[in-house]
Amino acid sequence: MCAKVTSIGLKGMEGYRLNVEVKTFVGNDSIRIVGLPDAAVKESKERISAALRSLGYTINGQKIIINLSPSEQKKSGPMFDLPMAIGVLISLDELNISIPENYGFIGALSLDGAIVPVEGMLPAILSAKRIGLKRLYMPYDERQPVLNIEGLEIIYTSSLREVIENLEGRGRPHFSPKTEEISSPKSSYIDFQQIIGHTDTKRALEVAAAGEHHVLMTGPPGCGKSMLAESFPSILPPLSKEARLEIIALHQLSGTSYLNANIPPFRNPHHSASGISIIGGGTYPKPGEISLAHRGVLFLDEIAEFPKKTLDMLRQPFESGKITISRTHAILTYPATFILLAAMNPCPCGYVGSNTHYCTCTPRQAQNYRNKISGPLRDRFDIRLTIKPVALDRDTLKGEESSIIQSRVEAARSRQYERYGQELCNSRVSYDILQKTSPLTQEQHKIIHHLAAKKNWSNRTQIKIIRLARTISDLEGKTSITNQSIWEAVNLR
């Protein structure tokens, strides 16, 4: 008899329907798995055999062939143990039931028949409803939130025997976790109120947070670039439920955990990090820093010290919000919608143009240092700031708390979401939609064209000015782009 059981395969964050086909013949005791399995999938036959024997089933005198379809997709991980075991039992007539195609199974097997969680289950669960599943059998993993997805019944099981009894209508699994909201610890980021001075820079960062604009900060050592960047997440709005699940899923795929579930991630890789660790990759590609910073912030301190090749790799995710990694074993796409904050010194010693320190660099050395950031990459930064040291004056200690700025940022983003009909900010919306929803007046077109001709701005720069102006107007609660917002955007640029 030939049995067919549904499971979920993964290509990065994208899940697809995987059919487990099992056929048994009279012959030598053997289990063979086909369909481009990796070593972990091939070892499933030993776990399945031991688990079935532990439950009193026998496969003596049977040759079992298991096909994982679609056969052209490479399969990895032990997540298919459970559906393969169910398929073997049906094929051997030990389980006399017909399983609907919209029932799915994921989970690894222990040798005693227990079902244990594996890495990558959360992306599979998020894909289950999209591929048309109505019920999903899986083990409970305390490291991930208990999900309540409308239209998808999730049944948590602890053993293969429980699954069999449920399929035969002899009971339900005893384990039924309560659905709880993801708890989040209080933010540990520096509050904007603690930063002395830098009023204009704080305003620029508020604009960046409201519209998800990328920022390049240049200034001498010790002027506060790193502190400003580390405080930036404190003014970002809390993550939505969908965003939280995406972030947890990406961290699971990378083999790490993300505890601050309600707070946007903040990644700060060292300049000695390899290109693969930043972008993602490996034999079986895993998410890199840009994907782990999804929906949050990627801070590159001393950006000029990063290899130029690594920096130029950022140009694609800058525009598309995702990264496609091509390797011999797989071609995977991971989301990478992040705000890039970059900080650098103006020269190797850091004091060119300073009134308090003598610069030891020649003009050629300073120019070569700045040229480490290529023109195309530099042009993709929406906001460019020159940071200068501030006096430690008690009068400059007072400032707005991050929570007050955060409320303005959240209100500005709500206006953008309502205008575009989805969670999309001004920096990422297509220019066509931006023009339709926020057309410029004839006078504003003349202002931008005059400045572009005078300063030799590229088309990208002109569009970024309009995007910044739209964000500034959103912060002010204006329905259309104002002349004042355009001039402020020009100054930020």
- CATH code for position 206: 3.40.50.300
Q: Give the per-residue pLDDT at 182.
A: 47
Q: Other CB atoms closer than 10 Å to residue 147's CB: what's the count?
A: 16
- Select the more confidently predicted residue: 215 or 241: 215
Are residues 229 and 104 part of one domain? no
Of 429, 456, 479, the one marking the end of a domain is 429
Q: Give the per-residue pLDDT at 185.
A: 46
Whether 176 is covered by a domain: the verdict is no
Mean pLDDT of 178-192: 61
Whether 316 is covered by a domain: the verdict is yes
Are residues 411 and 458 part of one domain? no
Are residues 263 and 341 part of one domain? yes
Omega prior to 70 cis, within 30 of 0: yes
* DSSP 8-state code for residue 395: G
- pLDDT category at 175 given cuts 50, 70, 90 is low
Of 386, 414, 429, the one marking the end of a domain is 429
Whether 220 is covered by a domain: the verdict is yes
Secondary element (H or E) of residue 277: helix 275-279
- Percent of the chain clearing pLDDT 70 (strictly above): 95
Whether 355 is covered by a domain: the verdict is yes
Are residues 132 and 38 part of one domain? yes
List the domain range (segments joined by +) for residue 337.
Answer: 192-429
Mean pLDDT of 27-48: 92
Residue 227 class from Cβ within 10 Å (0-12 exposed, 13-18 middle, 19+ buried)?
middle
Secondary element (H or E) of residue 79: none
**pLDDT tens, 390-426?**
877 655 556 789 999 999 999 999 999 999 999 999 9
Please, which residues bridge with residue 137 across strands?
A: 105, 155
Are residues 434 and 418 part of one domain? no
Whether 22 is covered by a domain: the verdict is yes
Tokens of 479: 């329905």
Are residues 381 and 313 part of one domain? yes
pLDDT of residue 489 exceeding 80: yes
Are residues 423 and 280 part of one domain? yes
* Lowest-confidence segment of 91-100, 122-131, 280-289 by average pLDDT: 280-289
Q: Give the per-residue pLDDT at 289.
A: 96
Are residues 443 and 417 part of one domain? no
- pLDDT category at 120 given cuts 50, 70, 90 is confident
Q: Give the per-residue pLDDT at 281.
A: 86
Whether 254 is covered by a domain: the verdict is yes
Query: What's the structural domain count of the chain?
Result: 3
| Residue 136 to residues 123, 150, 169, 325, Cα–Cα distance (Å) | 13, 13, 16, 30
Are residues 259 and 126 part of one domain? no
Mean pLDDT of 137-147: 83
d(Cα 474, Cα 493) in Å, to the nearest integer? 18
pLDDT of residue 286 exceeding 70: yes
DSSP string covering 333-344: EEE---EEEEEE
* Lowest-confidence segment of 267-281, 317-331, 447-461 by average pLDDT: 317-331
First and final CA of the chain: distance in angstroms?
69
d(Cα 119, Cα 427) in Å, to the nearest integer? 33
Whether 172 is covered by a domain: the verdict is no
Of 388, 412, 429, the one marking the end of a domain is 429
Are residues 110 and 39 part of one domain? yes
Residue 243's SS3 state is helix
The predicted model scores a pTM of 0.86
Whether 401 is covered by a domain: the verdict is yes
- CATH code for position 154: 3.30.230.10
Residue 450's SS3 state is helix
Q: CA nearest 24: which of 8, 51, 48?
A: 48
Are residues 253 and 388 part of one domain? yes
Torsional sign, CA 355, 361, 367, 371: negative
Are residues 453 and 326 part of one domain? no
Mean pLDDT of 461-469: 95
Q: Residue 84 carries which side chain, given as an amino acid letter?
A: M
